[in-house]
Structure 1
């Protein structure tokens, strides 16, 4: 009787594909269990690897989650930045950002819960804090650019307090992002549609006299 194949790197599967599979499984598992409770052994079992084999791809849980979060954040921020560069008004550009954020949640359904799990650990893991701070700075630049462009184009009064508007839009997006972690996708999408309606009505932004 042939000896059963040992679990390790799946036969015929490219190493990069296995690495991506590990990251996809880890995103869902860490988001569900929390960083402290998640183990490399459990991630390996969900992927179909031995406990030892997973370390060929990532030397530690911290490294795995750091790489995973950094790659997700970089991709999402890049997509949101491109979404705001469409022609149109501040309202139209921000709606484009909200729509792209919905698409990102569909592509990365665990990202919000994962980010919140990592936030809880960032006080004791400096590498996580670096990623989170980098994300925050990139978001601040994105929203500041949106508002500064609107003031420059004359869409907003020249005496508009740009930082306040940027912070308001940032807070709105963060609130919607958090909501997406705790309610159904349909409810999250409905909330985004309501925010888009307020933007379209001009209720959220100052108007020129």
Structure 2
């Protein structure tokens, strides 16, 4: 029958839009409650659909959590790296990476909250560590590559300890993610990124 709904799909909804709304709300709920305390019922209530409707798109909590990591990789990590690699200097690459994330934050702050909170969940729950580690490795790989390119071009000293500086920058960037998700307003986040960009460009002090 034409137009027949699949079982569990909410009335009057568009499949793609409903799925994206479930993902957005799920990022919020997982960030607030953590992996263990988050339930499909809580997500369904906040979205305004039935619990079976959530199951229509995601078979279980693990599948939903995996989809959240995919959405972060595609919407945040990928966009940020693409923006950054177009720059020619180390400060330009690092600034562009963060600025791209800020633009995404202006549209949907749930990404920053999930990125920050999921790291804790990954270390609390062994079966989530793989996804969390992959997320961290994406950032680590980008920073390491940016530093290596800066050494090769003569932009920074060739005796720099790239692994140590990489970890320092990851710590700062994850701190900014926490600030973006749970502490500052979007306007404050823009100021933080601007000042950080000036710092790494060597013009703040």
Question: 2:170 aligns to what?
Answer: 170
Partner Cα distance (2:90, 2:193) in 1? 16
Question: Is the contact between residue 90 and residue 150 of structure 2 (CA under 8 Å) also seen in structure 1?
Answer: yes
Question: 2:69 aligns to what?
Answer: 69
Larger relative helix fraction? 2
Q: Give the C-alpha shift of residue 104 in structure 1.
A: 2.6
Q: Which runs of 5+ in 1 are unaligned?
A: 1-7, 205-209
Distance 1:150 1:120, change over 3 A: closer
Q: Give the C-alpha shift of residue 123 in structure 1.
A: 4.1
Q: Relative to structure 2, which stretch is displaced further, 61-70 or 134-143?
A: 61-70
Q: Which runs of 5+ in 2 are unaligned?
A: 1-7
Q: Give the C-alpha shift of residue 134 in structure 1.
A: 0.6
Q: Deviations over 1:91-150 (max 9, x none)?
A: 122221121121132233012322344334324544421111111222111111101111
Q: Give the C-alpha shift of residue 12 in structure 1.
A: 4.6
User: Number of aligned pairs?
Assistant: 198
TM-score by length of 2: 0.83
SS in 2 for 1:201: coil
Distance 1:123 1:165, change over 3 A: closer
TM-score by length of 1: 0.82
Partner Cα distance (1:15, 1:32) in 2? 26
Partner Cα distance (1:203, 1:140) in 2? 25
Q: Give structure 1 regions of 4+ aligned residues with deviation exceeding 6 angstroms.
A: none
Question: 2:196 aligns to what?
Answer: 195
Partner Cα distance (1:132, 1:44) in 2? 25
Distance 1:41 1:146, change over 3 A: same
Partner Cα distance (1:173, 1:125) in 2? 23
Q: Give the C-alpha shift of residue 60 in structure 1.
A: 1.6
Question: Is the contact between residue 119 and residue 132 of structure 1 (CA under 8 Å) also seen in structure 2?
Answer: yes
Question: 1:51 aligns to what?
Answer: 51
1:81 aligned onto 2:73: no
Q: Give the C-alpha shift of residue 19 in structure 1.
A: 1.6
What's the Cα RMSD here?
A: 2.4
Q: Deviations over 1:46-94 (max 9, x none)?
A: 2232222321211222321221133213431111211221242211222
Alignment of 1:1-209 (within 5 A): 9-123=9-123, 125-181=125-181, 182-201=183-202
Partner Cα distance (1:32, 1:11) in 2? 28
Partner Cα distance (1:123, 1:158) in 2? 34
Partner Cα distance (2:22, 2:50) in 1? 12
